[in-house]
Amino acid sequence: MFSKMSRLIAVGAVITAAGGVWAGVANAATAGRATSGTEDLYLMTTEASGAQSELIATGVFTTYGTDDAGSTVDTAHVTGGTFKITHNSGFKIVKESVNAKTCYAVFEATTSFTLGSGTGSYKGISGSGKATINETEIAAKSKGKCDTNVNPVANEQTITGTATVKL
């Protein structure tokens, strides 16, 4: 769980982060002028690999889609186009615990991210923000012990992020 978190951060946060964050920007893009402000991003996955998250964004625009996680760059696929979420600054662990008996594990971290390389309605998107990653899981057992370095038996990961965005 914890060693695989870097691939999930984006997503981050977001940010998956993380996750097809923005469509619905069409109104801003077709108005012929730049639009800027705060965008809130919400990503969620129950995939053990964390490779793809569902994404909802609201603020400057409201949209939904998916976020394909990469090791340092995610691709958000949303209505009206795509954009990249870069999250290569690492992350700060806020909370990390594993119950050795039940293998119930929780993880919380924060990270920063940037937005760019948009297509379609998101062409010219730029911005940056911060995200919080939360994961709850039941870790797999290996040789009778909880192993957080392999995909969990069950998990839920959420990433919430806030960015200042310009279109």
Q: Which pLDDT tens digit goes with each residue over 70-117?
A: 989 999 999 999 999 999 778 899 999 999 999 999 999 999 999 999
pLDDT at site 111: 95
List of residues 6+ apart from 167 with CB closer than 8 A: 25, 28, 29, 34, 35, 36, 60, 61, 122, 124, 125
pLDDT at site 48: 80
pLDDT at site 123: 94
pLDDT at site 49: 80
Extents of the domains making up the chain = 5-166
pLDDT at site 32: 43
pLDDT at site 29: 40
28 burial via Cβ count (<10 Å: 0-12, 13-18, 19+): buried
Residues of the chain with pLDDT under 50: 1-34
